[in-house]
């Protein structure tokens, strides 16, 4: 499938019909799975914020702007900061005419299409939609930017450690066993532990969804 045209998030869950003023709250377990336990907008993982209590349901099109209350496709799983920042913001009809709107990760690809991430963790808009989206949701707030920068460095360390281990493995195999063998073996298992730790950290970091 073309990564540029298929949505970043694909819903697979089918929650029961929800009704009433707060019926949508029953969607929580379905949303958590569909959104891969991450914020739909900033990509932060629940585990980075202490669990699902740091998250809530966002109505993509706000209720105050006529967005449906209990329609599953209007419900997004988001971190509380993103929810508070977004609040009931929605482009005016004049802004919409000019292309200013939120990128909708459930209906389109946003990363690499509406904005890209630079090496220093900054999200740079590519379209008017990206401009509205990144600035309205404040996706370049200091904490997020720092996190993205750190995770890029972590990926570089992970790749380097992985390569080093492969080289060292080959070197150990190629030489006869001698006094240096035990220390090389210890180095190998040390590297393996470091790689595993980095892998676990990266699994809950904001994904590296780079420019396709």
The footprint of Zn ion (CB under 5 A) covers 39, 41-42, 79, 82
| Beta carbon nearer to Zn ion, 43 or 129 | 43
Return the H-helix or E-strand segment holding 123. strand 123-125
Q: Rounded distance, CA 139 to CA 125, Å?
A: 11
Helix (H, G, I), strand (E, B) or coil at 65: helix
Shortest gap between Cβ of 58 and Zn ion (angstroms)?
A: 9
Shortest gap between Cβ of 40 and Zn ion (angstroms)?
A: 7
| Beta carbon nearer to Zn ion, 41 or 100 | 41
Bridge partner residues of 124 (DSSP): 116
Cα separation values, 116 from 3, 159, 212, Å: 14, 22, 10
| Beta carbon nearer to Zn ion, 111 or 161 | 111
| Beta carbon nearer to Zn ion, 58 or 70 | 58
Shortest gap between Cβ of 170 and Zn ion (angstroms)?
A: 43
Cα angle for residues 43, 45, 46 (degrees, 5° grid)? 135
Shortest gap between Cβ of 41 and Zn ion (angstroms)?
A: 5
Q: At what angle do helices 142-174 and 181-203 cross, to 10 degrees?
A: 150
Shortest gap between Cβ of 185 and Zn ion (angstroms)?
A: 44
Q: Which residues contact 171 (CB under 8 A, 6 or more apart)?
A: 184
Shortest gap between Cβ of 179 and Zn ion (angstroms)?
A: 54
| Beta carbon nearer to Zn ion, 39 or 48 | 39
Token pair of 110 as six digits: 């946003």
Helix (H, G, I), strand (E, B) or coil at 73: helix
| Beta carbon nearer to Zn ion, 42 or 129 | 42
Taking CB atoms within 8 Å and a gap of at least 24, the contacts of 166-171 are none
């Amino acid at each position: 499938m073309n990564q540029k045209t298929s949505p970043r998030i694909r819903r697979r869950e089918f929650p029961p019909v929800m009704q009433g003023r707060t019926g949508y709250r029953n969607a929580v377990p379905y949303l958590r799975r569909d959104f891969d336990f991450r914020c739909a907008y900033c990509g932060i993982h629940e585990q980075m914020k202490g669990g699902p209590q740091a998250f809530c349901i966002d109505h993509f099109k706000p209720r105050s702007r006529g967005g449906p209350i209990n329609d599953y496709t209007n419900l997004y799983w988001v971190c509380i900061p993103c929810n508070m920042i977004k609040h009931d913001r929605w482009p005016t009809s004049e802004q919409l005419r000019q292309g200013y709107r939120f990128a909708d990760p459930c209906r389109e690809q946003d990363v690499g299409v509406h904005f890209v991430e630079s090496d220093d963790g900054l999200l740079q808009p590519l379209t008017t939609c990206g401009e509205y989206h990144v600035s309205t949701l404040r996706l370049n707030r200091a904490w997020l930017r720092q996190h993205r920068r750190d995770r890029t460095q972590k990926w570089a360390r992970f790749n380097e450690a992985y390569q080093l281990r492969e080289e060292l493995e080959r070197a150990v195999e190629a030489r006869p066993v001698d006094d240096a063998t035990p220390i090389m073996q210890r180095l190998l298992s040390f590297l393996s532990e470091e790689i595993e730790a980095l892998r676990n950290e990266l699994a809950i970091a904001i994904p590296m969804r780079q420019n396709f």
